[in-house]
Amino acid sequence: MKKILVISLALVLLLVTPMAAFGQITYNTGFQVQNLGTGIATVTITFYNQNGTVAATRTVTIPAGASMTFFPLADVPDGFNGSVVISSNEPIAAIGNELGNVNQYASSYAGFTAGGTEVYLPLIMRNNAGFNTWFNVQNAGTSDAMVTVRYTAGPAGNNYTDPTTYTIKPGAARTFDQAPLSALGSVFIGSAKVTCTNGVPIVATVNQVGTGTARTMLTYNGFLGGSSEVVLPLINHMNAGYVTGVSIMNIGASSATVTLEYTPSLAGDPATETQTIPAGGSKIFCLNFLTSRFIGSGKVTNPEGQPLVAVVNQLNGGANKGAAYGGFNPASATDKVSMPLIMDRNAGFFTGFSVMNAGTTTTIINVAYSDSAVTESATLAPGQAYTSIQNGRIASGYVGSATVTASGGGKIVAIVNELHATLAGDMFLVYEAFNY
């Protein structure tokens, strides 16, 4: 029997037909799979309907170090709304890209390699300046998952515990939409906790969708646990119209005095921001107190040692572009990260990434691109980030992947931005690089 070394569980593929609850948006999703191993990967992809039945399966091979794009998804019919499980005989990483209403909305997220019995969602919204959230919860186990949801108000709204326990079949996902949930209040800005009450592992991915003049979509993955420190590879303020907001949730048992320390890389001065977050609550941090441009990284700490999780929103309101990523536990940083999708002038799309030194000593990073002789290197002090933009750097039409390594046992994390140079819609996406 072939041994499954990595199962990239819960690439929650949100492929739905237009429905009023989602603001008449038609979603399509593609995904990219990268082989991190040393041999040819035999990859099996299984699509699940929300009722738990298998919609389709597909098996492909991917050479060592290479990646493969799956878009459009010809294996499932139009109107498919479900999830996928990807398995391989070699280590793999995968990301999903969501598109809505033909170039109006776009977002990206990373696939999971494991689930947990509790999932934390730091930013949930209802009627917040045109934004609503909806999330999919996927069963990452082998038996039925019994799932409950509790919402905690932050700046606005009502605390609410959903009285229903939902059953989710193995491999399948269920959609939870906050727009029609009046119990949250006329305006809700807060967080949520999803719990599997019978011990089956689950995962979740959240979509923040703005309509009208706020026509953007930002996607992030739910967190399976927290850490007393969180690192954020990219923070922007007044950067070509982009600003950053950081939603931090205290998942501990007591209050936390939380400080976000901002470290400049390409522009700006060091800064700090401190707020008290109650147990189970959340607060939003931003750089609105600055009057000049900032590009850099961030580090979240609290002297009480409470476990925290954070999601970073990058938003350009004037251009209707937005993207989100999840903060990193520095203890999970490694000396190597992979980026399954890198682009240079690919039908107007290009990528840019930020690599942060999450360790305590200076390290040298080296960047290698698949099927390219182009390389990069940089020296990073602790907490410092290196930003690279691929537009015009590799080759016109380039679609591939990248690997970043740190010397001397350095510890790094990274995120990747995807952007279309000219389209007027929200063609701005971001995903977390994979540590391995």
Instruction: State the pLDDT at residue 1.
Output: 24
For residue 308, CA distances in Å to 136, 175, 299 come to 22, 25, 12
pTM: 0.90
- pLDDT over 70 at 84, yes or no: yes
Between these two residues, 150 and 111, which has the higher pLDDT value?
150
Q: pLDDT class for 320, splitting at 50, 70, 90?
A: confident
CA separation for the pair 96, 211 (Å, rounded): 22
Instruction: State the pLDDT at residue 149.
Output: 98
Instruction: State the pLDDT at residue 353.
Output: 96
- pLDDT over 70 at 9, yes or no: no
- pLDDT over 60 at 6, yes or no: no
Query: Per mean pLDDT, which range of 7-11, 165-169, 180-184, 380-384 is the poorest?
Result: 7-11
DSSP string, 388-433: EE-TTTS-TTEEEEEEEEEGGG--EEEEEEEEESS-SS--EEEEEP
Instruction: State the pLDDT at residue 24.
Output: 67
**DSSP assignment letter at 320:** T
- pLDDT over 90 at 187, yes or no: yes
CA separation for the pair 48, 81 (Å, rounded): 9
| Model pLDDT for residues 127-172, shown as the tens digit of each residue | 999 999 999 999 999 999 999 999 999 989 999 999 999 999 999 9
Contact 97, 31 (CB under 8 A): yes
Between these two residues, 179 and 101, which has the higher pLDDT value?
179
- pLDDT over 50 at 2, yes or no: no
Average pLDDT, the chain: 90
